[in-house]
Amino acid sequence: MKRTKSARHQHSISYYFRIVLLCFIPVFILYFIVSSIIISVLHKQTMSFIETSASYYTEEMNTSQAAINLFLIDYVSNKLSEHVDFENRNTVSYIQDVKSIQADVKQLRNYYGTQYNYFVYDRNADYFFPCNTTGTFYYKDQSEQIQDEILSVVNTPASAAVSDLWSNYQAGSTVFLMKYYQYNDYVMGCWVDAKDFIRPFASMNLGPKGFITLTDEQGNPATNQSLVKEQNISLTTLNDTTKQLSLFSKYLILGFTLKKDRVSIKIIVDQFGAYGSIFLVQIAIFVFVMILVGLLLLMTLYMRQQVLKPIRYFSENLAVYQEDGPVLDFKSNDIIELELANTQFKNLIRQIKKLKIDIYEKELEHMQIQMNYMQLQIRPHFFLNCLNSIYSMGQTECYDEMNQMIVSTSDYFRYIFQCKEDFVLLDHEFTHTRDYLEIQKIRYGSGFYYHLEQQSETKGIQIPPLIIQTFIENSIKHTVTLDEEVHISLSAKLFELPDKNRLEILITDTGKGFDPETLEILNKERSLSTTDGHRIGITNTIHRLDMLYENQYSISFSNLKDGGASVCLLLPANRVHTSIPLPS
């Protein structure tokens, strides 16, 4: 028995496995390149974010200190020197002046920050007054040391306040920045703890060992001296704008100048701490991929030796099988499962052949029965209505109308009985539909009028029989009454599309239209409930279209804006080359 050769070139599984391994090499190289780029970009973005945030905080500090300086100058030269008498502290005017100072300072602290502390000193009265609402500093543990350091500075002749710059001082373990102004014997100043001063910078991600320090004019750290010494970082050789941006250095240092201070801010970023997790994740992903590749290699080798090779022998035997040929007795290797598969396969082939024949015959029989049944379901209802109308006309002695009704009914059913094909000409369907409408006009009189329009390009196109009549009959059944005249319209147009031409059949009426529930069911489920025989016409018509066209047609239901229903059919524009005569 001759084996059928495939036109496509085939390879073994080992060949594809080698291809996969070769593909992994550029993937790994690309992985490292992309990882390096991601880390570099992330590093630059993070540094840019830190620098931008620090610049924002620095500018905010400069603005706050400049405003505080103006406040101190104005207050000490105007209000204190002219209105406040600290020598007579038991008077009502003194208490009012103190409350006024505290209110002004409170408003200033609320606007520029509660970390700033204000004080007033009268040299003549040798009286020191913290301007907070409590009359004391908030730093209770070292408030006396801070006050002593402030008095020591303001009472030193060489330290006259002539500059706008804030200076750094230390009281015990507290480092603070201070600025004061003197007018005559009055001194007013402001100080801030260095830790509170740089607290806004703490929200930035500097890594586990990153920190912020203040340095004096010589570059010596004024805060966090122990961390600077522990990390062995030299700050004396760096100016205020120095940046060490190397990706491979342990620390990155950013310097920022404060316009109103004698100190600068140095930000020390722990680069490995900030990006170490990224490196670890990259290494973990690489190790995980390598383990998967190794497992895949071992599994492939095992499958090839223990499973694929015996299956290949078995499949070579199956390759000589022909569907219409006899059932072969295959010989396989020493695998019991494949021997059992041999026997089961022979039985399966026999059953499949028999089953295919049975299914094919039953499917043909079922489709023919269903097609005939669907067409016959459309006829009895209308036929009985016509007979009743003829009988009524005979009873009322309307013989002319009765004769016309008999002739129209005869032509109508002659067409139905002679239409045994799946498709008929659209021209014949239009003629048949006109006959149907004329019969209904005899029954309903002025209850409706109709308009039929067939585009000349649609001549010779075939459609399933009685498709149009179903929707016309539905319009008459649900819209035509003797109270109001209804307009029923039928049109057929040809649309030229890139893939294939389409025939559009549009049926409209001016009745009340579809109710919302029915419209939703028709457009979504496309099948109405046919309980007690109602609505069976539309449902059967849709089933016929499904069987004849499958998914090559479309049908849509809608309500017109001015009232009425609309049914739009879009069918393949299949033509015939020989004319089909209209049944006589």
Three-state SS string over 36-71 comes to HHHHHHHHHHHHHHHHHHHHHHHHHHHHHHHHHHHH
Residue 529 sits in a domain whose CATH number is 3.30.565.10
Q: Rounded to two decimals, what is the model's pTM?
A: 0.44
Beta bridge partners of 178: 167, 191
Answer yes or no: do 342 and 450 share one domain. Answer: no
- Where does a domain end: 359, 376, 393? 376
**Which residues are CB-neighbours of 374 under 8 A, at least 6 positions away?**
540, 541, 543, 544
- Same domain as 514, residue 412: yes
Split into its structural domains, the chain has a count of: 3
DSSP for 492-538, written as a single string:
EEEE--SS--EEEEEEEESSS---HHHHHHHHHT-----GGGTTHHH
Helix (H, G, I), strand (E, B) or coil at 372: helix
DSSP string, 286-352: HHHHHHHHHHHHHHHHHHIIIIIHHHHHHHHHHHT--TTSPPP-----S-HHHHHHHHHHHHHHHHH
CB contact at 8 A, 31 and 286: yes
Report which secondary-structure segment, H or E, holds 186.
strand 186-193
More confident: 417 or 488: 488
In a domain, 2, yes or no: no
Has residue 147 been placed in a domain? yes
Residues 393 and 352 in one domain: no
Q: How confident is the model at residue 249 (pLDDT cuts 50, 70, 90)?
A: low
Instruction: Clarify whether residues 466 and 388 are in a common domain.
Output: yes
Q: Are 462 and 424 in contact (CB under 8 A)?
A: yes
Cβ neighbours of 103 (radius 10 Å): 12
**Kind of pairing, strands 264-270 and 211-215?**
antiparallel
Rounded Cα–Cα distance for residues 168 and 193 (Å): 10
Question: Sign (positive/negative) of CA torsion 7, 12, 13, 18?
Answer: negative
Report the DSSP pairing between strands 462-463 and 502-509.
Answer: unpaired
Confidence of residue 218 (pLDDT cuts 50, 70, 90): confident
Residue 300, C-beta contacts closer than 8 angstroms, at least 6 positions apart: 13, 17
DSSP symbol at 576 = -
Nearest to 194 by CA among 301, 266, 103, 290: 266
> At how many degrees (to 10) do helices 426-444 and 336-395 cross?
40
Residues 252 and 217 in one domain: yes
Q: Is residue 578 part of a domain?
A: no
> Which residues make beta-bridge pairs with 567?
507, 557
DSSP E strands in 87-157: the ranges are 116-122, 127-130
Q: How far apart, in whole angstroms, are the C-alpha atoms of residue 341 and residue 309? A: 16
Which residue has better confidence, 401 or 506? 506
Q: Are 188 and 122 in contact (CB under 8 A)?
A: no
362 and 430 co-located in one domain = no
Q: Are residues 536 and 500 in the same domain?
A: yes
- Domain identity same for 226 and 359: no
154 is a domain residue = yes
* 359 vs 316, more confident: 359
Q: Do 371 and 405 sit in the same domain of this protein?
A: no
Q: Which of 349, 376, 403 is the last residue of a domain?
A: 376
Query: Per residue in 14-56, pLDDT tens?
Result: 676 677 777 777 877 887 787 778 777 777 777 788 888 888 8
**Residue 355 burial (C-beta neighbours within 10 Å; 0-12, 13-18, 19+):** exposed
Whether 451 contacts 489, CB under 8 Å: yes
Which range marks the domain in which residue 520 is found? 382-572
Q: Is residue 202 part of a domain?
A: yes
Which structure tokens are listed for 384? 């009985």
- Highest-scoring range by mean pLDDT, 58-62, 93-97, 321-325, 377-381: 58-62
Residue 107 domain flag: yes
Residue 302 placed within a domain? no
User: Phi and psi for 196 in degrees, rounded to 5?
Assistant: -70, -30
- Do 23 and 146 lie in one domain? The reply is yes
188 in a structural domain: yes
Q: 350 to each of 326, 327, 344, 353, how far by Cα in Å?
A: 9, 8, 10, 5
Q: Please indicate, yes or no, whether residues 108 and 250 belong to a single structural domain of this protein.
A: yes
Per-residue DSSP letters for 151-210? HHHHT-GGG----S-BEEEEETTEEEEEEEEEETTEEEEEEEEHHHHTGGGGGS---TT-
What the block records as the tokens of 508 is 């409209």
- Where is pLDDT greater, at 420 or 401? 401
Q: Are residues 328 and 193 in the same domain?
A: no
pLDDT at residue 3 is higher than 50: no
Confidence of residue 7 (pLDDT cuts 50, 70, 90): very low
* Mean pLDDT on 172-196: 87
Average pLDDT, the chain: 77
Local structure of residue 457 (DSSP, 8 states): G
